[in-house]
Amino acid sequence: MTPPRNDNREDMLRKDGIFVGIAGMSLLNGMHFSAYFDPVFILMKPFAAGFFITSPILQFYFTSLFLSALTLAFGGIPAAIYERGKGLKESTPTSLWIWLGGILFLTIPTLLNMTARSG
């Protein structure tokens, strides 16, 4: 008896690779050398104190996590508009590429900041 053939395996592997790129770019944008890190850190200080987070290192980590999640959410807006316009029920590789492009667009200042510091 042969197992059922999965014709979508190549499509699934392509999607997984794009997901890794999406996650990696959003995490990169949440790092301490991000162009957005300092303003978000300053804005997060009063909110962190409201949640009894007074340790500077915890504020640092939560700022990084918040900035990464924010990049992930805002970068996905163009992909969501594309999927809604096409009437899709699930993400396609095209919409994932659009999502990655949105995140890359948001990460350009961070990439420029990285190259300026290393040179």
The ranges assigned to domains in the chain are: 18-114
Q: Would you say 14 and 91 are in contact if contact means Cβ atoms under 8 Å apart?
A: no
Q: pLDDT tens digits, residue range 26-66?
A: 999 999 999 999 999 999 988 888 888 888 899 999 999 99
Instruction: Name the percent of the chain lying above pLDDT 70.
Output: 92
What whole-number distance in Å separates Cα of residue 78 and Cα of residue 99? 7
What is the pLDDT at residue 51? Answer: 80
What whole-number distance in Å separates Cα of residue 111 and Cα of residue 119? 12
Mean pLDDT of 5-9: 66
Q: pTM of the prediction?
A: 0.83
Q: Would you say 75 and 99 are in contact if contact means Cβ atoms under 8 Å apart?
A: yes
What whole-number distance in Å separates Cα of residue 113 and Cα of residue 93? 30
What whole-number distance in Å separates Cα of residue 107 and Cα of residue 5? 39
Q: pLDDT tens digits, residue range 72-109?
A: 999 999 999 999 999 999 888 899 999 999 999 999 99
